Chain A
Amino acid sequence: MEGKSYQRLPRVKIREMRDDYMKFELRDTDASVANALRRVMIAEVPTVAIDLVEIEINSSVLNDEFIAHRLGLIPLTSDRAMSMRFSRDCDACDGDGQCEFCSVEFHLRAKCHSDQTLDVTSKDLLSSDHTVVPVDFSDSAGMESSEQKGIIIVKLRRGQELRLRAIARKGIGKDHAKWSPAATVTFMYEPDIRINEELMDMLTLDEKKAWVESSPTKVFDFDPKTEKVVVIDPEAYTYDDEVIKKAEAMGKPGLVDIIAKEDSFIFTVESTGAVKASQLLLNAIEVLKQKLDAVRLSEDTVEADDQFGELGAHMRGG
């Protein structure tokens, strides 16, 4: 199988980066790699989420499962998740998932004493580990930090009480969406838009304007000074073909030529806050590497199983 190498050296260019949002370009690679990255970010980057809830007192209007489900969906800061153990592989606690290596304990005690309804939010969750806490959105939002109160779990009326113990564990989005660190991961092919200037010059002003307007997104603009149509934002193009149809309707097919560049992608990553968007990408690459390692190792021996344990077998299984 020796021969031509298909190795390419992808380039990444970060365009915009915030804690929970990142936009970057990925160039010189295939759709398969881009998609693998996307899939891993959604489904296989581990995070920590509440997995086990023991309810002591619940006199709220929502029932136990309901509250447990809501608790599970609260994103927890999971920077430590990569180094944590899955509770099923944990040696320290026989897999019952109650040790410090694989779990974090939370407590919630809330009772409403006033006549106003009390909002029990993710802020009321008390963690046993300061590195794993409910995600705080106030800092990222910035402005009205005092108003930010976290995610509402349940509302209590006078006399209602909620007391529970919750255990958060490491997991991946494949098992349950609550472990998915990504709110949105999507990519698009970078469009390559070429306006045929010759044909364009044949259009009247009104026609040019009408043509520019025909695109539902603001991709083109009409420059009144030069009286030329310019591409202002090629990425706003949604491959809707509207401009091409319009050009055909105007009797000028080939007015614009739009192709998707097969090897450059624009990624948009939004994180739930469990991991920073940048870290999410790095973690995803790390997980992807591990998976590839497992594939490479399993190629020649089954001995890899000794080394990678269940993970290796799992990876080979797909």
Chain B
Amino acid sequence: MVVMKAMGMESDQEVVQMVGRDPRYSALLMPSIEDCAKEGIHKQEQALAYLETKVKRFSFAGASSENDGRVMTVLQDVFLANVEVCQDNFRPKCIYVAVMLRRIMDAILNKDAMDDKDYVGNKRIELSGQLISLLFEDLFKTMIAEVKKAVDNILTKPSRSSRFDFAQCIIKDSITHGLERTLSTGNFNIKRFKMDSKGMTQVLARLSFIGCLGHMTRIKPQFEKTRKVSGPRALQPSQWGMLCPCDTPEGEPCGLIKNLALMTHVTTDEEESPLISLCYCLGVEGLEVLSGEELHTPYSFLVLFNGNILGKHRKPQHFAAAMRKLRRAGKIGEFVSVFVNEKQHCVYIASDGGRVCRPLVIADKGISRVKEHHMLELKAGVRTFDDFLSDGLIEYLDVNEENNSLIALYEEEATTETTHIEIEPLTLLGVIAGLIPYPHHNQSPRNTYQCAMGKQAMGNIAYNQLHRMDSLLYLLVYPQRPLLTTKTIELVGYDKLGAGQNATVAVMSYSGYDIEDAIVMNKASLDRGFGRCIHMKRYCAVNQKYDNNTQDRILRPNRDGFDSGPMRVLDDDGLAAPGEIIRRNDILINKQVPIVTRGQFKSALNDSEFKSVPQRYDGPQGESCVVDKVALCSDKHNNLCFKFVIRHTRRPEVGDKFSSRHGQKGVCGTIVQQEDFPFSERGICPDLIMNPHGFPSRMTVGKMIELLGGKAGVSCGRFHYGSAFGEPGGHADKVEAISETLVRMGFSYDGKDFIYSGITGCPLQAYIFMGPIYYQKLKHMVLDKMHARGSGPRVSLTRQPTEGKARNGGLRVGEMERDCLIAYGASMLLYERLMISSDPFEVQVCRVCGLLGYYNHKLKTGICSSCKNGDNISTMKLPYACKLLIQELQSMNIVPRLKLAEA
């Protein structure tokens, strides 16, 4: 109320009128009006004076100068900054406040009127352009401020020697550096909005084609994900068709990180003024001509444009219809949304950026505007998607406007009320979930798991994959196109850059090496190239230049004598030659570094002034890899840079991870000879055997249908489809039809085969469900993870073995393992593991003072440094870490004393 008064609304009656004359509203407004009266605030000046005491002292240079106007400036510039104040006219702001108050009271009186902050229509997605413009604005402003400071500094100086040159005050490249820094670190730091978020720029994941695509559709929320609220993580009904319901990571960011659906479009800003004038032309009554009372007359709706109140309209539906007609005709932008909110008596028009929207087929009274001949034209290539848009057959709806439409899923289901028809139900999923055949038959978390796993699958990553110099690259030797495809796969191009192979899978138990989702693989299949992959890794070396004009040099390898073995792969130029077979510890580059790299300027160096620092290949032991290619380039500092790509072809081995497209991952449990594998009388022998226990709890019915469809596909020679919810639209083959095909091709309708055991030759007791399933090889391979060590490096501080495979570390006997040993009473084993094999250390302990002494090598006795003699010294073994602890405690003025007793 005070604020209203401060803005010039002195009459209580006017305020109440503006809010609405409903007695319930006035009752809620009453306390504030009374408060006002109590404080004696009646006039604008009184209100301003009252607010003055509340306003914090800002350090604004402008505001502090004119003291009394501070509240005014705050009200003008800060308070509801989106509503413009022209010539001290606070009326629009007052109306805005009144509408806000009305909404608040609505929410108090009626919980249903509450807005949902997780509602997708209330969210905006920031795109790179907006972020960069924001960043630029910030950088530009800081630059201006700095320049101003510098200029002030110079100009205030009484005596200036040189002529004032403005150009010199500008710090060069500050914007460039700022942009570069932000882009390279990903840390956005915008002071004006106190925005400080990390990971805003990410290096595009290029490990797999699908991972790359998936990365580009990812949406990350702004707020931190530590809060344990379920609201923003939950699946919102309003995200239908806009955000993929399946594709979200597991664990901490679950439900927060989202992915766009297939047809989603994120809008960009559109110019406002033509749209505003258009609104007025279409009969919107401006705010200026409206009294407070008139604002809320029934049957007239407020018109809000991008959050600003434009005015009101008496025939909202007509207005909305007119706007939509204009949009369909292409007179206004296709992403402008018109939304009539009946509940709030508002018409929202939005042209701002960051809204998500999607295309839908327009239907008139339930009859689709897209007709047969349009589709034929599309097929003939005469018509494109944009033509559909410009001809008003298809339009983009954002989440809000969707609420004004009745969307039929299929044309057949449309009634006379229907305004739109869904283009294809499969588009409600994202790119990655679109790869799953029959996802609508799977238990939903399985699809989510597959979305996480599809990104790890090996295959092709791009058409230029062999020319790229990626730091790590996994390729499949014989990638295949899935036998059971979806429309999404075709749209995305996964059928051309696949990441998997169609394996003939028998669902049966075999050998006991298939428990816990392990799979049994056929050795002959592996011999013939199933699951074979190429692993390429890049190694870098720099020919460094130093300050003293010296630089590294690369020498010809010495072909005989010391080191000639590891130098085998080197060419005459001292670099590893492409095509050479390279083993662990072979030298990649025969480099020498000058011993003195600092200080005086030097010209030519002798051989003795160099030390040899060859870079060795640290690949897996016992494997033979090949130097794939070598590239020379110069880096940022103009040093010569060498890049080696080492290629390693791997065949699957026990422990490698495989997965179908239904979130069913498993490791290879054992590899079995072909003759031991079961076979059918047609001579079909599976490539892999999967344990049937994988099915009941996972409920991946989609996988079973994939098997059936794949089997029908190979036998009849047609790729079958399994698009999401595609059965009615003909984009997914029905099980019935598949069974018919199977029977026609002489198989059993249920996909089960009569199988003989390869070991005995006898028929198996049961019919075996067998057919092709698209299997992906995941990038987790045993070879990269396998690690063991005997003795090896230790950490210098604690003298305990190092940690991790990269540092050739030991395997830790952890807390729980220790507990087991204690419980078992295996004290000697415990002693050995925790001390002998870790960090044993011999200490001299003084029996009198209990402190650690030292061993004097001259006197050949231990001496206690606090007792200054060696009379009562005992020698004992201790973990070095314990000795360290004792000494660290001593350094903190705590004296741990050891009391020794005879054992």
Binds B, one of A64-72, A86-94, A134-142, A306-314: A64-72
Q: Once the chains are docked, how many angstroms separate the CA of A58 from the CA of B743? A: 48
Q: Does residue A290 face the partner (Cβ distance < 8 Å to B)?
A: no
**Given A216-B748, A238-B754, A43-B763 contact (CB < 8 Å):** no
Binds B, one of A125-133, A143-151, A169-177: A169-177
> Do B675 and A177 touch (CB < 8 A)?
no
Q: Once the chains are docked, how many angstroms separate the CA of A68 from the CA of B528? A: 12
Q: Once the chains are docked, how many angstroms separate the CA of A61 from the CA of B528? A: 20
> Do B532 and A177 touch (CB < 8 A)?
no
Q: How many residues of B contact A (CB 8 A)?
A: 39
Interface residues of A in 19-42 (CB under 8 A from B): 31-32, 34-36, 38-39, 42
**Given A173-B674, A177-B524, A239-B763 contact (CB < 8 Å):** yes
**Given A39-B675, A238-B746, A31-B760 contact (CB < 8 Å):** yes
> Do B626 and A35 touch (CB < 8 A)?
no
**Given A186-B683, A238-B746, A65-B626 contact (CB < 8 Å):** yes
> Do A69 and B532 touch (CB < 8 A)?
yes
Q: Does residue A240 face the partner (Cβ distance < 8 Å to B)?
A: yes
> Do A73 and B748 touch (CB < 8 A)?
no
> Do B628 and A186 touch (CB < 8 A)?
no
Residues of B within 8 A of A63 (CB): 534, 626, 628, 647, 649
> Do B477 and A69 touch (CB < 8 A)?
yes
Partner of B749, one of A42, A65, A216: A216
Closest CB of chain B to A268's CB: distance in Å? 6
Q: Does residue B224 face the partner (Cβ distance < 8 Å to A)?
A: no
Q: Once the chains are docked, how many angstroms separate the CA of A186 from the CA of B763? A: 12
> Do B683 and A38 touch (CB < 8 A)?
no
* Binary interface encoding of chain B residues 715-755 relative to chain A, with 1 for a CB under 8 A from any of its CBs, else 0: 00000000000000000000000000011001111000110
Q: Once the chains are docked, how many angstroms separate the CA of A74 from the CA of B756? A: 29
Q: Once the chains are docked, how many angstroms separate the CA of A176 from the CA of B673? A: 10
Q: Does residue B390 face the partner (Cβ distance < 8 Å to A)?
A: no
CB nearest to B767 among chain A residues: A240
> Do A186 and B680 touch (CB < 8 A)?
yes
Q: Does residue A121 face the partner (Cβ distance < 8 Å to B)?
A: no
Most chain B CB within 10 A, of A36, A64, A242, is at A64
Partner of A177, one of B528, B679, B762: B528
**Given A66-B649, A216-B747, A173-B524 contact (CB < 8 Å):** yes
**Given A63-B626, A216-B743, A188-B681 contact (CB < 8 Å):** yes
Q: Does residue A210 face the partner (Cβ distance < 8 Å to B)?
A: no
Q: Once the chains are docked, how many angstroms separate the CA of A217 from the CA of B743? A: 8
Q: Once the chains are docked, how many angstroms separate the CA of A236 from the CA of B681? A: 10
CB nearest to B524 among chain A residues: A177
> Do A270 and B527 touch (CB < 8 A)?
no
> Do A38 and B675 touch (CB < 8 A)?
yes
> Do B528 and A185 touch (CB < 8 A)?
no
Q: Does residue B512 face the partner (Cβ distance < 8 Å to A)?
A: no
Q: Once the chains are docked, how many angstroms separate the CA of A39 from the CA of B767? A: 22
Q: Does residue B565 face the partner (Cβ distance < 8 Å to A)?
A: no
> Do B529 and A270 touch (CB < 8 A)?
no
Q: Does residue B466 face the partner (Cβ distance < 8 Å to A)?
A: yes
Q: Does residue B523 face the partner (Cβ distance < 8 Å to A)?
A: yes
Partner of B649, one of A32, A34, A65: A65
* Binary interface encoding of chain B residues 664-688 relative to chain A, with 1 for a CB under 8 A from any of its CBs, else 0: 0000000001110001111100000
Q: Does residue B758 face the partner (Cβ distance < 8 Å to A)?
A: yes
Residues of A within 8 A of B748 (CB): 216, 238, 240, 242
Partner of B763, one of A38, A174, A189: A189
* Binary interface encoding of chain B residues 751-792 relative to chain A, with 1 for a CB under 8 A from any of its CBs, else 0: 001101011111100010000000000000000000000000
CB nearest to B761 among chain A residues: A35
Residues of A within 8 A of B743 (CB): 216
Q: Once the chains are docked, how many angstroms separate the CA of A42 from the CA of B525? A: 13
Q: Does residue B333 face the partner (Cβ distance < 8 Å to A)?
A: no
Interface residues of A in 148-182 (CB under 8 A from B): 173-174, 176-178, 180
Interface residues of A in 269-295 (CB under 8 A from B): 270
Residues of B within 8 A of A184 (CB): 683
CB nearest to A69 among chain B residues: B529
Residues of A within 8 A of B628 (CB): 63
> Do B761 and A177 touch (CB < 8 A)?
no
**Given A32-B760, A177-B523, A238-B748, A270-B528 contact (CB < 8 Å):** no
Closest CB of chain B to A71's CB: distance in Å? 13
Residues of B within 8 A of A178 (CB): 527-528
* Binary interface encoding of chain A residues 211-250 relative to chain B, with 1 for a CB under 8 A from any of its CBs, else 0: 0000011000000000000000000101110100000000
A interface residue numbers (CB < 8 A to B): 31-32, 34-36, 38-39, 42-43, 55, 58, 61, 63-66, 69, 73, 173-174, 176-178, 180, 184-189, 216-217, 236, 238-240, 242, 260, 268, 270
Q: Can you name 30 A-B residue pairings with CB atoms under 8 Å? A: A32-B760, A35-B758, A35-B759, A42-B674, A43-B673, A43-B675, A61-B466, A64-B626, A66-B477, A66-B649, A69-B477, A69-B529, A69-B532, A73-B528, A176-B527, A177-B523, A177-B527, A185-B683, A186-B679, A186-B682, A186-B756, A189-B763, A216-B742, A216-B743, A216-B746, A238-B681, A238-B746, A239-B763, A242-B748, A268-B681
B interface residue numbers (CB < 8 A to A): 466, 477, 523-525, 527-529, 532, 534, 579, 626, 628, 647, 649, 673-675, 679-683, 742-743, 746-749, 753-754, 756, 758-763, 767
13 additional contacts (CB under 8 A) given A61-B466, A238-B753: A35-B758, A39-B675, A42-B674, A43-B674, A69-B649, A176-B527, A177-B527, A178-B527, A188-B756, A216-B743, A236-B746, A240-B754, A270-B683
The 5 closest A-B pairs by CB, nearest first: A35-B761, A184-B683, A177-B527, A188-B681, A177-B524
